[in-house]
Each structure stands twice: as C-alpha cells, then as structure tokens.
C-alpha cells in the first residue's frame, strides 16, 4: 500500500487528458519586446550565425515544415549544458515558444530527471516523489561512482522497497503523455513495475540493449508511479535510474534538457552510455551550452576545451550523422563574485571556431548579454544572482525568449512554407 503522502502526490496531479489548443501564427505577446529589454542587451547579436556550411540546419528546418504539414510526428531537440540547463527556466521558455508559435501542436514529449530524489534543484515543469532514500551521483571527477547515461547524472538506491512517482505540472505545455520510457540499469536483484495505484491500463516492454523499460498507456496521462522491491534484503547492489522520457501520442517537438550543476565538457565525454542511450531519442538538433564550468577550472586551456568539444561532436555524429548542431557561447561570469573571468574570452573564440569547423550554427549569448563584465549589469537588473555566475528565473526566461527569437528568425527565412 502506498503511504498517504504518496497517494496525495498522485491526487495533486489531475488526470486531465490532452486537449488540443489552437494557437495563432507567430504570436509574440509572450516574448520580451525591445522596450522591456535592458539597454545593455545588444540585440544586433540576437541571431543564429552559420560561419560554415548550413545544410544541416536547412534539413532540420525542413523537418519542422514536415511537422507542420502532418508529414512527421516528432522533431527531437536535445540541449546539453550545466546548471543553466538544470534550472529549467531557459528551456521552459524556449520550448513553450516552439510549441505555441512555430506549430499548433502540443504533443511531442519531454525528458525528465529526478533531481529532487537527489536533493537538488528541479526544473519547474515536473515533480518527482519517492518513499525511499536515493543517492545522487554526477559525472565529475570527485563524484564518479557509477556508469553514467546520456545526461551524465544518476540517482540510485539500495533500499528494500522504494516507490517513486512523476507528474507534469498543470501549467506546462506538455500536459500529458502516453508512453514513459524509464532508463535504468536492469538489475535483476530488483522487481520493478508500474504502481498498483495506476488505473489506466498499460503495456510494458523491456529493452535491455537500449537501456530502458517502456510503459505504453491506453490513454494520455499526466502522472505515473512505479514500485521497486528488492528480492533479497541482504543484497547490497543498486538500482540505478538515469531518467524518464515522456512521449505524447500527439505530434510536436520532443525536448530534452540534459544538464546538471557542475557539468563540463569532460562530464559528457565520461558518460559511457551517452551514445547508446542518445540514439534512442533520435536527435534532429543538438544544442551545446557547456563551458562555464570549464572556464572556472584552474588550468583552463582553449586548445583542451576545443579538443573536448571535438570529442563530443564526434560522439554525436556517430549517433546521428545528419543532425544539426547549435553552439551557444559561454555566458559572462565572475570568479568568486569579484574577478571577471577572462577565460570566457578564450571560450568565446573557441565556440566560434568550433561552429565553423563542424558546420554548425552559433548563438552569441556572450555578446548579446553585453560582453565581458556584463554579468554585473544583469545582477543590478535582478536578472542574475549575486554569485555572478547564475541567472534568476526571470533572467533565464529572458534567455529562452531571446534564443527563440533568433531561432524563429532563422527558421522563418529558411522555411519553404508560404506565409500569409
């Protein structure tokens, strides 16, 4: 039987079934107007630049056209980063704009990770709950303790019983899903199954070679719960959870924010299951926003930074040779709140070089936000925290809105669909 808290959690997640909502074409009422932007934001840099061959993006934009014409059910976007991505607000704003403005669809899907189970900050659009104790482990040298999946972070448990649940927040545009793919380590010491409290019938299929168990429900739902029981209480092995992918039966964008606090380029290089698991998401666009933590290293090297990114791009190309790649430049930041981080200047140069080398696009958030030492201005405007590294929720949402504006302008000029 579930605890009262567990039942209450499930009750909070209303079983509202998906209702399609019509959106007006290119409605920008939710975006920051130029009048609302601080003067230090330099809008001439709010564009996606292609210093080399842009054919991968042309193909990507064609897929969006096909989505709008009902010739494709899903376009998959994966965003890799660090704490900027884990916070969730940047991605939330970008995703909402994608769904509400470019398409009329509210389907697709979203990646989730149980940060709360590891006592870490959680993106605002979903909730996790558990009855037991979990241990968080990140792909960082000082924490490396397990085999990491595509997002470089895990939670694991040795508890004899440990139920856990997931629910989509009511105000999130991905309001429901029909399929849940649970990525885990297939430890035979545990019995892992859907909770008896889930009333919607579902079909389970296990794919050990792909790293996930799939639960396909008869109807769209907005919450799900699982039961975990160890066969032998004396067994000390762990059940490792890499994350849960929620997939709608309706068309739309699938979006996965792969980021965790402290992540660097090396973090994802060391994620040994990155390629095998990422392949299951069938990425059409990879966004790279990794670098702040690299620049804070005591021995930062531009050449090493470039080499690491080259390694990551090679991993991505083995997974999806034709996917588009977008680099975002490292945001301005300070060291211990007082010293402007000069390494960001080298990282900025590196990102522009990488975009050209790999025929990718780049979005220059560094110049857009005002350039070197501009983070102090964002702090004064209450758009960034006093640590002068991280942004406030308002600042992150502004970033997401600005990135979408740049993305939408680029897509609008490329699309073959006729605008009326």
Q: So where are the chain's domains?
A: 35-108+251-415, 111-249
Residue 40 has pLDDT above 50, yes or no: yes
Give 291-306 as a DSSP string: -HHHHTSTT--HHHHH
Q: How do residues 361-378 score in pLDDT, each as one tens digit? A: 999 999 999 999 999 999
| Band of residue 338 on the pLDDT scale cut at 50, 70, 90 | very high
The DSSP bridge partners found for residue 325 are 286
CB atoms within 10 A of CB 382: 10
- In degrees rounded to 5, what are phi and psi of residue 172? -85, 140
* Rounded mean pLDDT, 152-165: 94
Q: Starting at the earlier edge strand, list the strands of the sheet with 126-130.
A: 126-130, 164-168, 223-230, 190-194
pTM of structure: 0.91
**CA dist 178 → 7, 76, 175 (Å):** 21, 17, 11
Check whether domain 111-249 has CATH 3.30.70.270, yes or no: no
- Pairing of β 324-328 and β 285-289: parallel
Residue 288 to residue 365: CA distance in whole angstroms: 12
- Pairing of β 334-335 and β 135-138: unpaired
Of 301, 280, 399, 308, whose CA–CA distance to 346 is shortest? 301
Kindly state the percentage of the chain with pLDDT values over 70: 89
Residue 253 to residue 73: CA distance in whole angstroms: 9
What pLDDT is attached to residue 297? Answer: 84
**CA dist 210 → 153, 185, 229, 288, 406 (Å):** 18, 10, 23, 24, 35
Q: How do residues 50-105 score in pLDDT, each as one tens digit? A: 999 999 999 999 999 999 999 999 999 999 999 999 999 999 999 999 988 887 77
Residue 126 to residue 174: CA distance in whole angstroms: 10
Residue 38 has pLDDT above 60, yes or no: yes
Here the tokens at position 277 are 């698991």
Residue 379 has pLDDT above 80, yes or no: yes
The overall average pLDDT reported for the chain is 89
* Rounded mean pLDDT, 153-165: 94
Check if the beta carbon of residue 377 is closer than 8 Å to that of residue 74: no
Give 200-234 as a DSSP string: S-EEEEEETTTTEEEEEEEEEESEEEEEEEES-TT
What's the sign of the alpha-carbon dihedral 148, 264, 322, 216? positive
Please state which architecture CATH assigns to domain 35-108+251-415. Answer: 3-Layer(aba) Sandwich (3.40)
**Most confident among 18-32, 131-145, 254-268 (mean pLDDT):** 254-268
Name the residue with tokens 């403005």.
101
Residue 96 to residue 102: CA distance in whole angstroms: 10
Look at residue 162 and give its three-state secondary structure: coil
Q: How do residues 245-274 score in pLDDT, each as one tens digit? A: 999 999 999 999 999 999 999 999 999 999
């Amino acid at each position: 039987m579930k605890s009262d808290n567990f039942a209450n959690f499930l009750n909070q997640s209303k079983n509202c079934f998906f209702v399609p909502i019509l959106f007006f074409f290119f409605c920008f009422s939710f975006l920051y107007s130029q009048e609302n932007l601080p003067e230090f934001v330099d809008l001439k840099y709010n564009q996606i630049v292609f210093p080399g061959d842009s054919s991968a993006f042309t193909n990507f934009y064609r897929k969006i056209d096909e989505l709008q014409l009902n010739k494709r059910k899903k376009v998959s976007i994966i965003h890799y980063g660090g704490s900027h991505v884990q916070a969730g607000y940047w991605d939330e704003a970008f995703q909402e704009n994608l769904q509400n403005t470019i398409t009329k669809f509210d389907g697709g899907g979203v990646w989730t990770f149980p940060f709360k189970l590891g006592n870490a900050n959680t993106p605002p659009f979903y909730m996790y709950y558990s009855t037991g104790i979990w241990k968080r482990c990140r792909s960082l040298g000082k924490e490396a303790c397990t085999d990491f999946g595509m997002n470089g972070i895990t939670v694991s448990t040795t508890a004899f019983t440990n139920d856990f649940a997931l629910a989509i927040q009511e105000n999130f545009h991905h309001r429901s899903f029909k399929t849940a793919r649970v990525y885990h380590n297939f430890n035979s010491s545990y019995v892992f199954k859907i909770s008896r409290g889930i009333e919607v019938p579902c079909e389970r299929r296990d794919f050990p070679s792909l790293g996930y168990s799939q639960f396909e429900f008869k109807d769209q739902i907005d919450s799900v719960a699982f039961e975990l029981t160890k066969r032998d209480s004396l067994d000390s092995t762990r059940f490792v959870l890499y994350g849960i992918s929620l997939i709608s039966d309706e068309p739309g964008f699938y979006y996965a924010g792969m980021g965790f606090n402290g992540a660097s380029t090396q973090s994802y290089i060391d994620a040994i299951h990155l390629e095998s698991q990422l392949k299951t998401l069938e990425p059409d666009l990879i966004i790279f926003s990794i670098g702040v933590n690299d620049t804070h290293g005591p021995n930062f090297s531009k050449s090493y930074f470039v080499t690491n990114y080259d390694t990551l791009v090679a991993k991505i190309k083995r997974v999806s040779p034709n996917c588009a790649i977008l680099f975002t430049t490292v945001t301005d930041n300070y060291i211990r709140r007082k010293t402007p981080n000069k390494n960001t200047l080298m990282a900025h140069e590196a990102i522009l070089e990488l975009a050209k080398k790999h025929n990718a696009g780049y979005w220059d958030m560094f110049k857009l936000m005002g350039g070197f030492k501009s983070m102090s201005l964002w702090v004064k405007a209450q758009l960034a925290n006093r640590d002068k590294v991280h942004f406030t929720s308002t600042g992150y949402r502004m970033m997401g809105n600005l990135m979408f504006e740049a993305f939408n302008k680029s897509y609008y000029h490329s699309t073959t669909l006729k605008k009326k």
